[in-house]
Amino acid sequence: MRFSVVIATYNRAGVLRDTLASLARLRPAAPWEVIVIDNNSPDDTREVVEAATIGFPAPLRYAFEQEQGRSAALNHGLRIAAGDIVVTTDDDVRVAPDWLNTIARGLETLNCDYVGGRVLPIWESQPPNWVPRVNGRLWAVIALLDYGREPIAFGKRVPLGVNMAMRREAIERAGGFDTRIGRKAGTLLGQEVREWCMRAHAAGLTGYYVPDMVVQHLIPTDRLNKAYFRRWFFWRGISRAMLYAQSGKDMEAPEQTTLDFSQVTHIAGVPRYMFRSALVAMKDSFAARLRGDAVNAFEHELYLWMFAGVVKQRWKDRHLAAPAWKPTASPSV
């Protein structure tokens, strides 16, 4: 088996049906399979997958993962995948027929261990004017990505799990996804892909952004509001603080960490410089509002929501010593 496409899903049978229809139009040049991991869905996810197997052009497998969380579901998929290349995506995407061929070409041409690509929007409704139409800081909230038209080595940048592929050997060396920080029902926890990439790099693996590797991602109307963006940044703060406790990576820019945080002054478990950053963000947000610049005012405000999440989690972890960077153990798959 050349390719295994792994989809973790929870209670989204309707959109999953359309995603499987899109995947059925794939025309790879080598054997492939699709594995859907049902993460305790109360809807008819299993029936949707079983119905889609009829006439599907490749093996379409259903599996159930009881442990709640996207990382646990994906790890289940990694364990049972038969492919030499394992591709992760979501239950609400559309792909071109040559998607898998593009992935294989990127891995071979760039001689790397994993790849990620562009994630472009399918808007369920017209987005508000404060949502950028091109790649920017806010695109991460709705899982969109576009680093441009040229390949880029991952390091300071990371892929999105909705459009990512790894060689089997890379999974064996780096391990699976960390179940402590991945998305779980009722939360907006994240950072599991970033944490995996950190371990991959520590293991000597290389990854590249492949611009021709594209998926289209459905952006539902209920995420195109400021309340959702504020909640997402709050949970980003919690996730970054959890990652910091594990690895000592800078909570503002994890890929650009240069400090030994055991030597940095902390207040309530938070590096003191982040309080300065929060004050600057508050001032810049207020100034932008006075100028009538609602877009920049909101972007600066979102740092404050992330900071609030950091403070909440670091207060919870206040008994822990300030961490110094070391590679974390690789979660098994």
Beta bridge partners of 210: 117
Which tokens hold the place of 46?
């299993």
Q: What angle do CA 143, 278, 259 make, to 5 degrees?
A: 80
User: Average pLDDT of 200-208?
Assistant: 97
Strand segments, DSSP code E, in 69-143 are 85-89, 93-95, 114-123
190 close to 197: Cβ distance less than 8 angstroms:
no
Exposed, middle or buried by CB within 10 Å (0-12, 13-18, 19+), for 256?
Answer: exposed
* pLDDT tens sequence across 144-168: 999 999 999 999 899 999 999 999 9
* pLDDT tens sequence across 241-280: 999 998 888 999 988 888 888 889 999 999 999 999 999 9
49 close to 62: Cβ distance less than 8 angstroms:
yes
The pLDDT of residue 326: 53
Exposed, middle or buried by CB within 10 Å (0-12, 13-18, 19+), for 59?
Answer: middle
User: Average pLDDT of 60-76?
Assistant: 97
Based on DSSP, count helices (H) and strands (E) in the chain, helices before strands.
9, 11
Binned at pLDDT 50, 70 and 90, residue 132 comes out as confident
pLDDT at 292 over 60: yes
Domains recognised in the chain with CATH numbers = 3-223 (3.90.550.10), 228-316 (no CATH)
* pLDDT tens sequence across 310-333: 999 999 988 776 666 554 556 767
pLDDT averaged over the chain? Answer: 94
Nearest to 179 by CA among 113, 237, 246, 117: 246
Q: Which residue has the higher pLDDT, 3 or 259?
A: 3
* pLDDT tens sequence across 169-182: 999 999 999 998 88
The pLDDT of residue 327: 47
Binned at pLDDT 50, 70 and 90, residue 39 comes out as very high
Which tokens hold the place of 176?
């699976």
CA atoms within 13 A on the CB side of 263: 4
Which tokens hold the place of 185?
């029902």
Which tokens hold the place of 71?
């990382």
pLDDT more than 90, % of the chain = 83
Residues 89, 94, 100, 105, Cα dihedral to 10°: -100
DSSP SS3 for 40 = coil
Beta bridge partners of 232: none
User: Average pLDDT of 96-116?
Assistant: 98
Nearest to 314 by CA among 275, 257, 263, 258: 275
The pLDDT of residue 260: 86
The pLDDT of residue 246: 87
Q: What are φ and ψ of residue 209, in 5° steps?
A: -80, 125
30 close to 114: Cβ distance less than 8 angstroms:
no
